[in-house]
Amino acid sequence: MEPKQLVRRYIDALNAQDWDALADRVAEDMVRHSCATPDLTITTRSQFLRFAQENAAVFSDLWHEIEMILAEGDLVACYLRLTGTQTGPIGPFPSLGRRVDMPFVAFLRVSQERVEEMWVEWDNVCFLTQLGHWPGTPS
């Protein structure tokens, strides 16, 4: 399977919350990097699946829409639109029932039909402001 097709199937499984299909698309020793979540360490498939399931519990309608996708060799770059309604707490932030709609970038390294490594970034100020958690956000 070519890398872009694999990443599309990975995103489809994530959106469908199909944890078995997602597990099939992620390597056992997958590593996730992100400056947006510096205290979160993910270095295994099981840690990643737990993280994805926790996100789905907070944003039951979470959706990743691929707007642009490029591939070169084993690397795939995606510019996505992330949408969802916060229905559960995020750390110290309670749910205010607000939606987020924002850009999100992901760079994925694939090998042997699985995502081996990923770098994901987004604007946390935009994210927290839309959800009503940034200081000065109107209620």
Kindly indicate whether the domain formed by 3-130 is annotated with CATH number 3.40.50.300. no
Instruction: Give pLDDT < 70 ranges for the chain.
Output: 136-139
Give the per-residue pLDDT at 57.
96
Cα–Cα dist 111/116, whole Å: 6
For 53-87, the three-class secondary structure string (H helix, E strand, C coil) is: HHHHHHCCCCEEEEEEEEEECCEEEEEEEEEEECC
pLDDT at site 138: 63
Domain ranges for the chain: 3-130
What per-residue confidence (pLDDT) applies to 137?
64
